[in-house]
Amino acid sequence: MKSITKKRQFIKGMDVSTFLELEKLGAVYYDKDGEEWNLLSILQGYGMNAVRLRLWNNPYSKEGEPYGAGTNDIDKTVEMARRVRDRNMEWMLNLHYSDFWADADRQVKPKAWYDFTGKRLEYAVYDYTLAVLRIFREKGVFPSMIQLGSGVSGGLLWPDGKWPDYEMIALLLNAGICAVRAMEQDIPIVLHLDNGCNNKMYQEWFDNYFANDGEEFDIIGMSYFPYRHGSLADLQYNLNDLAKRYGKDMIVTGVAMPFTMEDYAEYEKLPPTERKGMAIKPWQASRMDYPATKEGQAKFIGDFMRRLAKVPGGHGRGFFYCEPGWIPFPGSGWATEASLKYLKDPGPCGNEWANQALFDYDGRPLPALDVIREF
């Protein structure tokens, strides 16, 4: 199978890392004809040609309690990768270098690395990266792309690799890059920052990364959530500037847009004190250029893809929609009590993503999927 990255095919990808958890709990999805069907098959029918899967080092407490949000350990990621390959699709591996969520606001070291610093931490990154890639190769499900870190604009593996220590940030990412290259020379490597509208941040970060002898990589990844980051015009300005400035391909590896602001408490069946509610707040929804409706979501995704495809030099390679199938279902939330302790987060838990999925709360496909298929 010739890689979509080599064919220069526009990537219409989806991050479905919670799928196994939802499937096990009994969540149901329907195709356009109202027939119950497998989520991956439905999404592929709507034009999905790649999948992103996150991997956490050890998403369990010392007592073995799962951290939730898919509890994406190596076994689950291998299983999902096998399902993706069985459908003749490609997949991107996202190494968080954490036992749970890593993003611009938190980069918690894996429990096994808590006491590691300096060279010992660099070696841990190298050895871990090499070890998991060997597993994927042995299982016959080697990824097509690899994203090292998640939202590393603030660094990674805090406090050692915390911004603005670009020297240590570069050393830690170099360890991961060298491990990937030791296993596979030609596989595209992605470095991902948050807030795809912040052109100043991207310039500063990548200029400092290269000034501190950061290893070469292939693709700039970014997140874009319109209710949090800004307009499509802001995103396009950043994409166009980065294409000219660095000459690298870009993928929006995390994007989502709400289709409603109606609550879904009745679906989660949790007491109010145990559910976090929507990640997007009404004041954030009110400042978007698109309404939080099914039609607004569909219009947004179409305009988003058109702008991405127009990046100079063909450097706008595509996107991965963030958790299109994370519908509200009892037992599946962004965290558990065990992972809250790991993150030192007050909580609460519950699903905070359901109104940004590409299926309604009952698992029926939304109009945005038709737009994706027709693009």
Provide DSSP, 72-97. Answer: --HHHHHHHHHHHHHTT-EEEEEE-S
Give me the pLDDT at residue 2, please.
45
The mean pLDDT of 339-348, rounded to a whole number, is 97
Task: Kindly report the number of other CB atoms within 10 A of residue 186's CB atom.
Answer: 9
Token output for 103: 């993003």
CA pair distance 275, 351, nearest whole angstrom:
7
**Preceding amide of 312 cis, omega within 30:** no
What Rg value do the Cα atoms of the chain yield, rounded? 19
* Token pair for 323: 């958790």
Domain ranges in the chain?
A: 4-374
User: For the segment 194-250, what is each residue's pLDDT rounded down to a tens digit?
Assistant: 999 999 999 999 999 999 999 999 999 999 999 999 999 999 999 999 999 999 999
Residue 179 token pair = 């491990």
Distinct helix (H) and strand (E) counts, the chain: 14, 12
The pLDDT score that the predictor gives to residue 5 is 62
Tens-digit pLDDT profile for residues 277-308: 999 999 999 999 999 999 999 999 999 999 99
DSSP conformation class of 322: E
Sequential DSSP letters for 173-191: HHHHHHHHHHH-TTS-EEE
- The answer to whether domain 4-374 has CATH 3.30.1370.10 is no
So what's the pLDDT on residue 4? 66
| Tens-place pLDDT, residues 46-99 | 999 999 999 999 999 999 999 999 999 999 999 999 999 999 999 999 999 999
For the question of whether the overall pTM of this predicted structure is more than 0.95, the answer is yes
Give the pLDDT of residue 8: 81
Work out the percent of the chain whose per-residue pLDDT is above 70: 98
Q: Which residues of the chain form beta strands (DSSP E)? A: 11-15, 29-30, 36-37, 50-55, 90-95, 145-148, 155-156, 161-162, 189-193, 219-224, 249-255, 316-322
CB 203 within 8 A of CB 239: no
- Cross-strand bridge partners of residue 54: 94
On the 0-12 / 13-18 / 19+ scale of CB atoms within 10 A, 8 is: exposed
How do strand 219-224 and strand 249-255 relate by DSSP bridges?
Answer: parallel
Q: How far apart are CA 340 and CA 348, in angstroms?
A: 8
% of residues, the chain, pLDDT over 90: 98
CA atoms of 365 and 33, how far apart (whole Å): 10
Could you please report the per-residue DSSP string of 127-173?
Answer: HHHHHHHHHHHHTT---SEEEESSSGGGEETBTTEETT-HHHHHHHH
Q: How confident is the model at residue 166 (pLDDT cuts 50, 70, 90)?
A: very high
Would you say residue 371 has pLDDT above 50?
yes
Q: What's the chain's average pLDDT?
A: 97
pLDDT at residue 181 greater than cutoff 50: yes
**Per-residue pLDDT reduced to its tens digit, 262-279:** 999 999 999 999 999 999
* Structure confidence by residue, pLDDT tens digits, 26-45: 999 999 999 999 999 999 99
